[in-house]
Amino acid sequence: MSGGVRLTAIDRKNILKAAEQLCKSVHFSQSEVVQLLMKYHEMTSDRIDRVKFRDLLHDHFDMSDDFFMDRVFRAFDKDSDSFLSQEEWVRGMSIFLRGSLEEKIEYCFNIYDLNNDGYISREEMFQMLKTTVRPTGEEELEDYVKDLVEITIKMMDQDKDSKLSLEDYRTAVQKERLLIEAFGPCLPPRQKLEEFSDSLFNSSTTTSLP
């Protein structure tokens, strides 16, 4: 396979077995899961750690914000052990590459819910927006972000409780798709997703397990 990585007979057997099971619950065929798992083994001989994953986000998906790359890693890392297992890698990429709107809404909401309490608070909005926006005039950053938080609350807070539940967020995004990344970049650009998919699944260098 590419990258000069050699798979043992046990590796090949495990990849085929994992692909057979995972393809039943993700948006990939069995052969596509095999390609994803081969990419996984190309990246690491053990498990994908935070550094390797950030390199992938930067190199393939043009993501560069440290704060949000860390949040994306946490969203993939379901068991919070600081590594991505094969299953976490495939399931995360299923949402990245082919997730439904609902799947992406839940994924983004979880990234923005910094303390995992089921709400995006004013304080969380302020913390995230402060890292991603810049005033267009002479207004101070903190004042600019505070104003932006208030505008966002008025736009998205359906039940007027001064914080966003998943339902508030879902309703707002369904009305205006661009609001899905209202608080910072957590989904790659469509072009980069297509390029990654093409290189992995449709490339003339795509290989199969012997």
23 in a structural domain: yes
Q: Tell whether 82 and 132 lie within a shared domain.
A: no
Residue numbers in the chain where pLDDT is lower than 50: 1-4, 204-206
In a domain, 168, yes or no: yes
> Is 126 among the domain residues?
yes
pLDDT digits (tens, 9 = 90+) for 131-190: 888 877 767 889 999 999 999 999 999 999 999 999 999 999 999 999 999 999 999 999
Q: Is the dihedral of CA 138, 156, 80, 50 positive or negative?
A: negative
Q: Is residue 16 included in any domain, yes or no?
A: yes
Domain shared by 123 and 111, yes or no: yes
CATH number for position 96: 1.10.238.10
pLDDT at residue 204 in the model: 44
pLDDT score for 2: 43
Domain co-membership, 25 together with 95: yes
Count: domains in the chain = 2
Assigned domain for 209 exists: no
The pLDDT of residue 1 is 41
pLDDT value at residue 203: 66
Residue 207 lies in a domain: no
- pLDDT the model gives residue 5: 59
3-state secondary structure the chain: CHHHCCCCHHHHHHHHHHHHHHCCCCCCCHHHHHHHHHHHHHHCCCCEEHHHHHHHHHHHHCCCCHHHHHHHHHHHCCCCCCEECHHHHHHHHHHHHHCCHHHHHHHHHHHHCCCCCCEECHHHHHHHHHHHCCCCCCCCHHHHHHHHHHHHHHHHCCCCCCCEEHHHHHHHHHHCHHHHHCCCCCCCCHHHHHHHHHHHHHCCCCCCCC
46 plus 111 within the same structural domain: no
Amino acid occupying residue 119: Y
Are residues 113 and 177 located together in one domain of the fold?
yes
Tell me what pLDDT residue 164 has. Answer: 97
Co-location of 31 and 116 in the same domain: no
32 with 135, same domain: the answer is: no
> In terms of domains, do 115 and 128 share one?
yes
Residue 208 placed within a domain: no
Residue 194, CA distances (Å) to 3, 72, 74, 198 in order: 21, 19, 23, 6
**pTM value > 0.85:** yes
Identify the residue whose tokens are 């995004």. Answer: 173
Tokens for 162?
């001064």
Same domain? For 91 and 105 the reply is no
Shared-domain flag, residues 10 and 83: yes
- Would residue 89 count as lying in a domain? yes
Residues of the domain holding 110: 101-181
The residue type found at 114 is: L
Residues 46 and 92 in one domain: yes
74/155 Cα distance (integer angstroms): 28
Q: Are 41 and 49 in contact (CB under 8 A)?
A: no
Structure tokens at 193: 């997703």
The predicted structure's pLDDT at residue 59: 95
96 and 193 together in one domain: yes
Report pLDDT for 197. Answer: 95
